[in-house]
Amino acid sequence: FKTILQVMCSDGNKLADLSIASQLFYSMLNVLTSAASPKGYLLLELISSYLQLDSLIGLNVHMESMLTNIEVEHLIFNRRLKVSP
């Protein structure tokens, strides 16, 4: 070999935003109820769907049933994204 094809560097923060989102989600479940904050509750539903979709897509092996689950969750995510109170 005479040349290097590609060099990649990572500081380990690749998933930091996702980790913060999931921590925020679980800490806010008891605070943003549908009665206490309808808009906040809708936001939690959207974050929940996003985290579920990200988890499904992040798997290494996608079987036929998993692809169906991803499609269904994507539809749910899009529906929640378009909701306006």
Q: Give pLDDT tens digits along the chain (85 positions).
A: 566 566 565 555 555 566 777 777 788 888 888 888 899 889 889 988 988 998 888 888 888 999 999 999 999 999 999 975 5
pLDDT at 69: 92
pLDDT at site 31 = 85
Alpha carbon of residue 29 to chain centroid: 16
Q: What is the pLDDT of residue 78?
A: 94
Q: How much is the pLDDT for 70? A: 92
- 1: exposed, middle or buried (C-beta count within 10 Å: 0-12, 13-18, 19+)? exposed
**Sequence ranges of the domains in the chain:** 21-82
